[in-house]
Amino acid sequence: MKISTFVAISMFALSFPACHSFSSCATRHVPAPRGVVLRSAAVDESSSSPSSSSSSSSSSSSTALTTTTSSIYADPSRYLSSHPSNNVPPHIAALVGRGLHVRPDHPIGIVRAKIQEYFANLDDGVTYRIYDAEDPIVTTTQCFDDLRIPPDHPGRSPSDTYYVTDTTLLRTHTSAHQSEHLRSGDADAFLCAGDVYRRDEIDSSHYPAFHQLEGVKLFPVEQMRGAEGLRGDEWTDSSECKAIAADLKSTLEGLMDHLFGETEKRWSEDYFPFTTPSYELEIKYEGRWLEVLGCGVIHEEVLDMSSRGDRRGWAFGLGLERLAMILFEIPDIRLFWTDDARFVGQFKEGKIRKFVPYSKYPPVYKDIAFWIPENYIENDFYEMARGIAGDIIERMEMIDEFTNAKKGKTSKCYRITYRSMDRSLTNEEVDALQDELRVKVENLGVEVR
Ligand code: PHE
């Protein structure tokens, strides 16, 4: 899935949006570990329980914990508004506020705690303040403008982003909180974890909700004296900027060793509007290089806009699902959202152990083909199907596409894999769902064949 890493258009070069248009996918997408059974994780909407963010397991001496109650976030009505720009479907609103990252015995929470533990024990004399319960609704200013993401950037488009109103949205990355924490001046270093949302296809490694952890560190003014007032290339060429980049890299290499043991790593340059220079880190896992994070030296304009123009520092962002899928050998990203005891019962606070797959029920496959209009948005189709069938859709893939020159029309054919995690589906019930989809999909301007 990796395309070029030097794409000037890239906002979240790692992973956004939907991997197709930008460079790499580290902060969200995950290959299935080898030899494991793929299955879907049903999201039980009735169990969107409030999370207990107070249960954070990081209580080390050199981290300061900041949580607010996140239970108010588990209220779908917060995300469903009658605003004309609102494009949050109920099945997404039902995911918000689950707080997987603060559950001490959930793989996402276990990985988060392990990362915090690493930073708590670093001997860099820095206290990393912990934020893990910020409001997942942020403004376009927080998510984009404060980070120099241009107004016409495709990542802002409603085909990629869930808008609550025209100016508020479900955060697409935890970087959306960088500027407010910098501006508040509460901490010179912090870690910020949370659930993030991006409209996308759904399969074993893509899910429209996932988790990120952001890290930021500002350096003492005295250490940066030599570069005072430098901007642009003069700044990035300075030994001070290089020292920050070196510190960033060694800190993150140490983090990978903490998580995975000694692993092979490699760095490449990347592009984010909010850091320069920017890098991506890959680790070697089972013979393959996997991108695990994006990072860089914070752009001076981002610091200026946060009233911290007198300071310099680094930032990184990583995807917790990807790390957890590798560490626990969890084959399907949807499993993280299940409340099935066969899944959640396998994990204990502080322990990394291999997931043992449990039996799966048989799939039912259905194809649907239609002529698409010019303004066809694939994510709208994926989302419509999920709105009808929910999480018993395990996978949707486009299996055929052709253009009829005479008609000047393009046809797409999708195969939908239906599978329940807790029972066998009957052909009749799946037919009924598929029939409903065939009718409703015409609202997208397509012509079913
Ligand atoms: N926000 C970026 C993403 O979602 C990751 C990132 C964070 C990159 C901080 C640089 C600095 O892909």
In this predicted model, what pLDDT tens digit does every residue of 228-242 receive, in sequence order? 999 999 999 999 999
Give pLDDT tens digits for 24-73.
Answer: 344 544 433 332 222 222 222 233 333 333 333 333 334 555 554 567 99
Using a 6 Å CB cutoff, which residues line ligand 1? Answer: 12, 14-16, 27, 173, 175, 214, 272, 275, 294-296, 315-317
Report cis status (omega within 30 of 0) of the bond before 277: yes
CB 234 within 8 A of CB 240: no
Strands 447-448, 168-170: pairing is unpaired
In our burial notation (b when 16+ CB lie closer than 10 A, e otherwise), range 279-308 reads bbbbbebeeeebbbbbbbbbbbbbbebbeb
Average pLDDT over the chain reads 86
Predicted pLDDT at 57: 38
Amino acid residing at 167: T
Sheet holding 265-272, edge to edge: 63-66, 128-131, 189-197, 209-218, 313-319, 288-298, 275-285, 265-272
CB 423 within 8 A of CB 408: no
State in Å: Cα 193 to ligand 1 middle: 12
Structure tokens given for 76: 């779908």
Give this prediction's pTM: 0.82
Ligand 1: residue whose CA is nearest its atom 9: 316
Residues of the chain with pLDDT under 50: 1-26, 28-62, 68
Predicted pLDDT at 202: 80
Strands 63-66, 128-131: pairing is parallel
Looking at the CA of residue 16, tell me the nearest atom of ligand 1.
12
Looking at the CA of residue 178, tell me the nearest atom of ligand 1.
9
Looking at the CA of residue 216, tell me the nearest atom of ligand 1.
9
CB 405 within 8 A of CB 335: no
Predicted pLDDT at 47: 32
Q: How far apart are CA 116 and CA 120, in angstroms?
A: 6
Predicted pLDDT at 70: 63
Q: How far apart are CA 390 and CA 166, in angstroms?
A: 26
Predicted pLDDT at 280: 98
Ligand 1: residue whose CA is nearest its atom 6: 317
- Choice from 5, 27, 269 to test ligand 1 binding pocket (greatest atom count within 8 A of CB): 27
Instruction: Return the bridge partners of 212, or none.
Output: 194, 319
